[in-house]
Structure 1
Protein backbone atom coordinates (compact mmCIF):
# COMPACT_ATOMS: atom_id res chain seq x y z
CA UNK A 1 0.00 0.00 0.00
CA UNK A 2 1.23 3.45 -0.90
CA UNK A 3 0.66 6.47 1.32
CA UNK A 4 0.72 10.12 0.26
CA UNK A 5 0.29 13.18 2.42
CA UNK A 6 -1.20 16.51 1.41
CA UNK A 7 -0.25 19.46 3.59
CA UNK A 8 -1.96 22.85 3.57
CA UNK A 9 -0.40 25.75 5.46
CA UNK A 10 -2.48 28.86 6.06
CA UNK A 11 -0.75 32.03 7.24
CA UNK A 12 -3.19 34.33 9.03
CA UNK A 13 -3.09 38.03 9.81
CA UNK A 14 -3.84 39.47 13.26
CA UNK A 15 -7.60 39.09 12.54
CA UNK A 16 -7.26 35.42 11.50
CA UNK A 17 -7.84 36.29 7.83
CA UNK A 18 -5.74 34.19 5.43
CA UNK A 19 -2.80 36.10 3.95
CA UNK A 20 -1.10 33.14 2.33
CA UNK A 21 -2.13 29.58 1.53
CA UNK A 22 0.53 27.03 0.63
CA UNK A 23 0.04 23.40 -0.32
CA UNK A 24 2.38 20.52 -0.90
CA UNK A 25 2.15 16.80 -1.47
CA UNK A 26 4.57 13.99 -0.74
CA UNK A 27 3.47 12.47 -4.06
CA UNK A 28 4.33 15.55 -6.14
CA UNK A 29 7.40 16.00 -8.29
CA UNK A 30 7.53 19.59 -6.99
CA UNK A 31 9.10 19.36 -3.53
CA UNK A 32 8.39 22.96 -2.57
CA UNK A 33 5.16 24.33 -1.13
CA UNK A 34 3.04 25.96 -3.85
CA UNK A 35 1.30 29.27 -3.05
CA UNK A 36 -2.40 29.50 -3.96
CA UNK A 37 -5.02 32.22 -3.50
CA UNK A 38 -8.04 30.02 -2.78
CA UNK A 39 -8.94 26.46 -1.87
CA UNK A 40 -12.01 24.31 -1.37
CA UNK A 41 -11.79 21.01 0.46
CA UNK A 42 -14.78 18.71 0.82
CA UNK A 43 -14.75 15.49 2.81
CA UNK A 44 -17.53 12.95 3.32
CA UNK A 45 -18.21 11.93 6.92
CA UNK A 46 -19.72 8.47 6.48
CA UNK A 47 -20.71 8.16 10.15
CA UNK A 48 -22.90 11.29 10.08
CA UNK A 49 -23.71 11.19 6.34
CA UNK A 50 -22.73 14.78 5.74
CA UNK A 51 -20.09 16.84 3.98
CA UNK A 52 -17.33 18.57 5.87
CA UNK A 53 -15.93 21.60 4.06
CA UNK A 54 -13.11 24.09 4.31
CA UNK A 55 -13.33 27.05 1.92
CA UNK A 56 -10.53 29.58 2.25
CA UNK A 57 -9.22 32.43 0.16
CA UNK A 58 -6.60 35.07 0.78
CA UNK A 59 -7.65 38.64 1.33
CA UNK A 60 -5.97 39.64 -1.92
CA UNK A 61 -7.79 37.04 -4.05
CA UNK A 62 -9.20 39.06 -6.98
CA UNK A 63 -12.97 38.81 -7.41
CA UNK A 64 -12.68 38.14 -11.15
CA UNK A 65 -10.36 35.19 -10.42
CA UNK A 66 -12.75 33.93 -7.72
CA UNK A 67 -15.54 33.84 -10.31
CA UNK A 68 -13.37 31.74 -12.64
CA UNK A 69 -12.32 29.52 -9.73
CA UNK A 70 -15.97 28.79 -8.87
CA UNK A 71 -16.83 28.16 -12.51
CA UNK A 72 -13.95 25.74 -12.98
CA UNK A 73 -14.74 24.03 -9.67
CA UNK A 74 -18.38 23.51 -10.67
CA UNK A 75 -17.31 22.08 -14.03
CA UNK A 76 -14.79 19.68 -12.52
CA UNK A 77 -17.26 18.62 -9.83
CA UNK A 78 -19.58 17.63 -12.66
CA UNK A 79 -16.80 15.61 -14.30
CA UNK A 80 -16.06 13.87 -11.01
CA UNK A 81 -19.74 13.16 -10.39
CA UNK A 82 -20.06 11.64 -13.86
CA UNK A 83 -17.03 9.39 -13.31
CA UNK A 84 -18.31 8.37 -9.86
CA UNK A 85 -21.95 7.71 -10.75
CA UNK A 86 -22.34 7.45 -14.53
CA UNK A 87 -25.34 9.81 -14.28
CA UNK A 88 -25.18 11.48 -17.70
CA UNK A 89 -28.57 13.23 -17.75
CA UNK A 90 -27.99 15.43 -14.71
CA UNK A 91 -24.48 16.33 -15.89
CA UNK A 92 -25.96 17.92 -19.00
CA UNK A 93 -28.13 20.07 -16.70
CA UNK A 94 -25.12 21.00 -14.57
CA UNK A 95 -23.08 21.96 -17.62
CA UNK A 96 -26.00 24.09 -18.84
CA UNK A 97 -26.03 25.82 -15.47
CA UNK A 98 -22.26 26.34 -15.63
CA UNK A 99 -22.65 28.00 -19.03
CA UNK A 100 -25.36 30.23 -17.51
CA UNK A 101 -23.08 30.99 -14.53
CA UNK A 102 -20.20 31.92 -16.85
CA UNK A 103 -22.48 34.19 -18.87
CA UNK A 104 -23.92 35.93 -15.78
CA UNK A 105 -20.44 36.36 -14.27
CA UNK A 106 -19.10 37.56 -17.64
CA UNK A 107 -16.39 34.93 -17.66
CA UNK A 108 -14.78 34.25 -21.01
CA UNK A 109 -14.03 30.57 -21.43
Structure 2
Protein backbone atom coordinates (compact mmCIF):
# COMPACT_ATOMS: atom_id res chain seq x y z
CA UNK A 1 0.00 0.00 0.00
CA UNK A 2 1.20 3.53 -0.83
CA UNK A 3 0.51 6.82 0.88
CA UNK A 4 0.54 10.15 -0.95
CA UNK A 5 0.02 13.61 0.48
CA UNK A 6 -1.58 16.76 -0.81
CA UNK A 7 -0.27 19.74 1.12
CA UNK A 8 -2.42 22.84 1.54
CA UNK A 9 -1.15 25.91 3.37
CA UNK A 10 -3.36 28.82 4.39
CA UNK A 11 -1.85 32.17 5.41
CA UNK A 12 -4.23 34.20 7.57
CA UNK A 13 -4.34 37.86 8.52
CA UNK A 14 -4.75 39.00 12.14
CA UNK A 15 -8.53 38.40 11.89
CA UNK A 16 -8.08 34.83 10.57
CA UNK A 17 -9.14 35.80 7.03
CA UNK A 18 -7.22 33.89 4.35
CA UNK A 19 -4.66 36.04 2.55
CA UNK A 20 -2.87 33.30 0.64
CA UNK A 21 -3.61 29.67 -0.22
CA UNK A 22 -0.95 27.38 -1.66
CA UNK A 23 -0.98 23.69 -2.46
CA UNK A 24 1.40 21.03 -3.67
CA UNK A 25 1.49 17.30 -4.33
CA UNK A 26 4.33 15.10 -5.49
CA UNK A 27 2.33 13.87 -8.50
CA UNK A 28 1.30 17.40 -9.53
CA UNK A 29 4.61 18.02 -11.28
CA UNK A 30 5.10 21.38 -9.60
CA UNK A 31 8.52 22.80 -8.80
CA UNK A 32 7.10 24.75 -5.86
CA UNK A 33 3.72 25.17 -4.15
CA UNK A 34 1.08 26.71 -6.45
CA UNK A 35 -0.99 29.72 -5.43
CA UNK A 36 -4.76 29.72 -5.60
CA UNK A 37 -7.45 32.13 -4.45
CA UNK A 38 -10.15 29.67 -3.46
CA UNK A 39 -10.73 26.04 -2.58
CA UNK A 40 -13.71 23.80 -1.96
CA UNK A 41 -12.81 20.58 -0.19
CA UNK A 42 -15.51 17.95 0.35
CA UNK A 43 -14.84 14.68 2.14
CA UNK A 44 -17.28 11.81 2.60
CA UNK A 45 -17.56 10.65 6.22
CA UNK A 46 -18.69 7.06 5.75
CA UNK A 47 -19.27 6.45 9.45
CA UNK A 48 -21.79 9.29 9.78
CA UNK A 49 -22.99 9.24 6.13
CA UNK A 50 -22.39 12.95 5.64
CA UNK A 51 -20.14 15.37 3.81
CA UNK A 52 -17.45 17.28 5.63
CA UNK A 53 -16.60 20.57 3.94
CA UNK A 54 -13.91 23.18 4.00
CA UNK A 55 -14.58 26.20 1.78
CA UNK A 56 -12.01 29.00 1.78
CA UNK A 57 -11.21 31.96 -0.41
CA UNK A 58 -8.75 34.78 -0.08
CA UNK A 59 -9.72 38.39 0.36
CA UNK A 60 -8.32 39.02 -3.15
CA UNK A 61 -10.84 36.67 -4.80
CA UNK A 62 -13.17 38.78 -6.92
CA UNK A 63 -16.90 38.17 -7.31
CA UNK A 64 -16.41 37.51 -11.04
CA UNK A 65 -13.70 34.96 -10.26
CA UNK A 66 -15.99 33.29 -7.69
CA UNK A 67 -18.81 33.01 -10.24
CA UNK A 68 -16.46 31.39 -12.76
CA UNK A 69 -14.97 29.16 -10.05
CA UNK A 70 -18.43 27.88 -9.13
CA UNK A 71 -19.41 27.36 -12.76
CA UNK A 72 -16.27 25.33 -13.44
CA UNK A 73 -16.62 23.38 -10.19
CA UNK A 74 -20.25 22.50 -10.93
CA UNK A 75 -19.31 21.47 -14.48
CA UNK A 76 -16.54 19.16 -13.32
CA UNK A 77 -18.86 17.73 -10.66
CA UNK A 78 -21.22 16.71 -13.48
CA UNK A 79 -18.31 14.95 -15.20
CA UNK A 80 -17.29 13.19 -11.98
CA UNK A 81 -20.89 12.17 -11.28
CA UNK A 82 -21.23 10.63 -14.73
CA UNK A 83 -17.87 8.86 -14.48
CA UNK A 84 -18.63 7.43 -11.02
CA UNK A 85 -22.32 6.48 -11.48
CA UNK A 86 -22.65 5.99 -15.26
CA UNK A 87 -25.86 8.06 -14.98
CA UNK A 88 -25.70 10.09 -18.18
CA UNK A 89 -29.27 11.39 -17.83
CA UNK A 90 -28.71 13.06 -14.46
CA UNK A 91 -25.22 14.29 -15.38
CA UNK A 92 -26.79 15.84 -18.50
CA UNK A 93 -29.34 17.57 -16.28
CA UNK A 94 -26.49 18.85 -14.13
CA UNK A 95 -24.74 20.23 -17.23
CA UNK A 96 -27.99 21.90 -18.28
CA UNK A 97 -28.08 23.59 -14.88
CA UNK A 98 -24.46 24.70 -15.37
CA UNK A 99 -25.43 26.40 -18.62
CA UNK A 100 -28.40 28.06 -16.87
CA UNK A 101 -26.07 29.16 -14.04
CA UNK A 102 -23.56 30.62 -16.52
CA UNK A 103 -26.33 32.50 -18.33
CA UNK A 104 -27.82 33.96 -15.13
CA UNK A 105 -24.39 34.88 -13.74
CA UNK A 106 -23.41 36.37 -17.12
CA UNK A 107 -20.28 34.24 -17.26
CA UNK A 108 -18.40 34.41 -20.53
CA UNK A 109 -16.88 31.01 -21.32
| Cα distance in structure 1, aligned partners of 2:31 and 2:51 | 30
Answer whether contact 2:74 2:98 (CA < 8 A) is retained.
Answer: yes
Unpaired runs of 5+ residues, structure 1, are none
| Offset, 1:94 | 0.8
Is residue 43–residue 53 contact of structure 1 (8 Å, CA) maintained in 2?
A: yes
Q: Give the structure-1-normalised TM-score.
A: 0.96
Question: Within 2, Cα distance between the matches of 1:41 and 1:31?
Answer: 23
Dislocated runs of 4+, deviation >6 Å = none
Question: Matches of 1:100 and 1:35 in 2, distance apart?
Answer: 30
1:57 matched to 2:69: no
What are the superposed Cα offsets for residues 40-91 of structure 1, whole Å, 9 maximum, x if unpaired? 1110000000000100000010110110000000000010010000011111
Q: Does 1:13 align with 2:10?
A: no
| Paired residues, number | 109
Question: Could you tell me which residue of structure 2 aligns to residue 105 of structure 1?
Answer: 105
In structure 1, C-alpha distance between the alignment counterparts of 2:42 and 2:53, rounded to whole Å: 4
Unaligned runs of 5+ in 2: none
Q: Offset of 1:93 from its aligned partner?
A: 1.0
> Structure 1 stretch 23-32 or stretch 41-50: which is displaced more?
23-32
Structure 2 Cα separation of the partners of residues 33 and 4 of structure 1: 16
